[in-house]
Amino acid sequence: MQEFLDYILDHYHRPRRKGEMEGAEVVLKGGNPGCGDVVVIYLRREGDGTLKVSFTGEGCTVSQACASIVCEAADGKTPDEILNMDYTFLEERVGPDIMRGRFKCATLALDTLKAAVQSLK
């Protein structure tokens, strides 16, 4: 499990695609302060049909690292490609223990991202 934890810690301490986006077409907040994890997804359509993706947020290591993992992978993809990303994508990266034990934290960003993409359609 340590290997997965180190991967997560890398994304947590050096988040990719983190920051508000100027000219975002969609800003969607996921999670709730009561549970402690919040991820805000920013989306903008590019001329070639792909999407620019970024996030902001706060919360536990897993939720914030997964936001970074998901946004890094989704940035530059088409809406359909993003909608085809599923939990297998996450499980391959964070491992089965974290997916099982931290399901809500791990899936928050991906679910929010997909809801944001849906709202573009």
Partner 1 sequence: MVDCRAEFPALREGVVYLDSGATSLKPRTVIEAMVKYYEEFPANVHRGGYPWANRATEAYEESREKVARLLGAHPDEVVFTKNATEALNLAASILGEYVKEGDRILVSVMEHHANFLPWMRLARIKGAEFVIFNVTPDGYLDLNDFKKKLTHNTKVVALTMASNVLGTIPPFKRVAKMAREVGAYVVLDGAQYLSHHRVRVRETGAHLIGFSGHKIFGPMGTGILWGRKELLKDGNPLLIGGSMIKDVGFDNYELEETPKRYEAGTPDVGGVIGLGAAIDFILKIGYDNILAHEGELTRYLYESLRSVPGVEVYGPPPEDRTSLVAFNLRGLHPHDLAWYLGEMGIMVRSGGHCAHPLHKFLDIPYHQSVRASVSIFNTKGDVDRLVEGIERAKRAFRL
Residues that bind partner 1 (CB under 8 A): 1-2, 5-6, 9, 33-37, 59-62, 97, 101-102, 105
CB of 90 to partner 1, least distance (A): 16
What are phi and psi for residue 49, nearest 5 degrees? 90, 0
CB of 9 to partner 1, least distance (A): 6
Q: For partner 1, which is the closer residue by CB, 2 or 88?
A: 2
Q: For partner 1, which is the closer residue by CB, 52 or 59?
A: 59
Structural Rg of the chain based on CA atoms: 13
CB of 47 to partner 1, least distance (A): 39
Q: For partner 1, which is the closer residue by CB, 1 or 120?
A: 1
Q: Which residues contact 119 (CB under 8 A, 6 or more apart)?
A: 26, 28
Q: Hey, is 36 helix, strand or coil?
A: coil
Element (H, E) at 116: helix 103-120
Q: For partner 1, which is the closer residue by CB, 86 or 97?
A: 97
Q: Is the dihedral of CA 9, 13, 14, 16 positive or negative?
A: positive
